[in-house]
C-alpha cells in the first residue's frame, strides 16, 4: 500500500493521478477534507481508502496502522505563507512530519516529503540544496521555518541517505482550485482576465527590478510529478533536493503567457503592494538544479509558455478542470 498524505490537496492528489496512470490503485489517502472543495480533486482518482489525518496519526503513534506500507508520500501540510499561528504550524508541519518519518523508517517504507523554497527566505544566501548549506538558511515567514526545522531534523539525525525531501519552488497546475489566496498567480490571472479583461500585479519597490520584472522559478506540476515518480522508482537515491526549472522568469512573462493562451491582448495594471508584505516579498527565486541532475534524474522541464498553455487550454477552460484518469 502507498500512503499519500495531503492526498486530496494540490500536489498530493496530482501524484495519486500519476500513480493511477501507472496502473497503481493500492493507495491510502490521508487528509482533512473539511468544508472546502478539496474533495473534488478525489472524484476522478482511484484509491483504496481515505483516512482523516488525525485518525491516521493516532494509528501511527500506537503503531496500529492496519496495513503494510511500501511508501509514504508526505505532501500534507499547512502551506499558507501568511499563517500566523506558529504553534499550529509547528505541530502540523514539523511534529507530524517527524512522527511519520520515524514510523515509515521503522517499517522500511520509502519516505518522500515536501519541503519548500520558502526555506530560502529572501534569497540572500542563495538557492543551493547542498546539505551543508541548509543549516544556514533564514526563512522570513513561519511557514518556511516550519519546513526548515524538519529539514534540519532530517540532517541532525543523519537521515539524508534514507529519505527524500523536495524543495518545491513556484508550482502551478490543475488541482489547485481549492487553495484560495494560496493558489498560483496563473489561476488568479485566468479568473481576473476572464472577468475584467486585465490582470493586476504588484509594483516593484527595488530599483533593480522594474514593475513586473520580479523573478520566480515557475514549475508545472506535471513536471514535478515526473521527478517524484523518478524518486519513487529509484529508492537508492536520497537526500534533500530543489525542484524548479532552474530558470527564473518574470511575472510579466508569466502573465503575457496567460493572455496568449486565452487569445487576448496583454493588459497589465501595476498596483501598490500591501505594506505588511513588503518585508517578506521575494524578488528573485531560482532553483539550483545541478544536484538533481547529478543524481541521475532524466526529467526535463517544458518551457513556461508551453506549460501555461496546457494548464489554461486543457484545464482552466474546461467544465471539469481536475486531473482525470
**205 domain-assigned:** no
Whether 145 is catalytic is no
Is the predicted pLDDT of residue 226 greater than 80, yes or no? yes
Mean pLDDT, the chain, as a whole number?
95
Whether 194 is catalytic is no
How many domains does the chain fold into? 1
Of the chain, the end-to-end C-alpha distance in Å amounts to 20
What range defines the domain where residue 67 resides? 2-173+218-248+284-302
- Which triple of cell numbers denotes residue 182? 494560496
Rounded to an integer, what distance in angstroms lies between the CA atom of residue 303 and that of residue 299? Answer: 13
Q: Which of 94, 96, 113, 143 is catalytic?
A: 143
Q: Which of 40, 50, 162, 179 is catalytic?
A: 179
Is the predicted pLDDT of residue 325 greater than 70, yes or no? no
Mean pLDDT over 251-267 rounds to: 98
Question: Phi, psi at residue 321, to the nearest 5°?
Answer: -85, -5
**238 domain-assigned:** yes
Contact 270, 229 (CB under 8 A): no
Is the predicted pLDDT of residue 101 greater than 90, yes or no? yes
Is the predicted pLDDT of residue 302 greater than 80, yes or no? yes
**260 domain-assigned:** no
pLDDT of residue 280: 74
- Which triple of cell numbers denotes residue 79? 502551506
Indicate which CATH number applies to the domain containing 83.
Answer: 3.40.50.720
Q: Which pLDDT band, with edges at 50, 70 and 90, does 170 fall under?
A: very high
Mean pLDDT over 37-63 rounds to: 97
**307 domain-assigned:** no
Mean pLDDT over 293-309 rounds to: 96
**149 domain-assigned:** yes
Is the pLDDT higher at 14 or at 299?
14
**222 domain-assigned:** yes
**204 domain-assigned:** no
Question: Could you tell me which of 112, 113, 4 has the C-alpha nearest to residue 56?
Answer: 4
Rounded to an integer, what distance in angstroms lies between the CA atom of residue 20 and that of residue 26? Answer: 9
Amino acid at each position: 500500500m502507498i500512503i499519500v498524505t495531503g492526498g486530496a490537496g494540490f500536489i498530493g492528489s496530482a501524484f495519486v493521478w500519476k500513480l493511477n496512470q501507472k496502473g497503481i490503485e493500492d493507495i491510502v489517502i490521508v487528509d482533512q477534507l473539511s468544508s472546502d472543495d478539496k474533495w473534488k480533486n478525489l472524484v476522478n482518482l482511484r484509491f483504496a481508502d481515505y483516512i482523516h489525518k488525525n485518525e491516521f496519526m493516532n494509528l501511527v503513534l500506537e503503531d496500529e496502522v492496519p496495513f503494510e506500507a511500501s511508501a509514504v508520500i508526505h505532501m500534507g501540510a499547512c502551506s499558507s505563507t501568511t499563517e500566523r499561528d506558529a504553534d499550529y504550524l509547528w505541530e502540523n508541519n514539523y511534529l507530524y512530519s517527524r512522527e511519520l518519518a520515524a514510523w515509515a523508517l521503522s517499517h522500511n517504507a520509502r519516505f518522500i516529503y515536501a519541503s519548500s523554497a520558502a526555506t530560502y527566505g529572501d534569497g540572500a544566501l542563495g538557492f543551493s540544496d547542498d546539505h551543508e548549506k541548509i543549516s544556514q538558511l533564514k526563512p522570513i515567514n513561519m511557514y518556511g521555518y516550519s519546513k526548515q526545522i524538519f529539514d534540519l531534523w532530517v540532517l541532525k539525525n543523519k537521515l539524508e541517505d534514507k529519505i527524500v525531501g523536495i524543495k518545491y519552488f513556484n508550482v502551478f497546475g490543475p488541482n489547485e482550485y481549492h487553495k484560495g489566496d494560496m493558489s498560483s498567480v496563473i489561476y488568479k490571472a485566468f479568473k481576473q482576465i476572464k472577468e475584467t479583461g486585465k490582470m493586476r500585479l504588484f509594483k516593484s519597490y527595488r530599483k533593480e527590478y522594474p514593475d513586473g520584472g520580479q523573478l520566480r522559478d515557475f514549475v508545472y506540476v506535471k513536471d514535478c510529478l515526473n521527478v517524484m515518480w523518478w524518486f519513487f522508482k529509484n529508492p537508492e537515491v536520497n537526500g534533500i533536493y530543489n525542484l524548479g526549472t532552474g530558470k527564473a522568469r518574470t511575472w510579466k512573462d508569466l502573465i503575457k503567457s496567460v493572455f496568449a493562451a486565452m487569445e487576448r491582448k496583454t493588459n497589465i495594471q501595476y498596483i501598490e503592494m500591501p505594506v505588511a508584505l513588503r518585508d517578506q516579498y521575494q524578488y528573485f527565486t531560482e532553483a539550483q538544479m545541478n544536484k538533481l541532475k547529478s543524481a541521475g534524474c532524466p526529467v526535463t522541464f517544458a518551457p513556461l509558455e508551453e506549460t501555461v498553455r496546457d494548464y489554461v487550454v486543457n484545464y482552466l477552460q474546461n467544465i471539469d478542470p481536475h486531473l482525470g484518469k
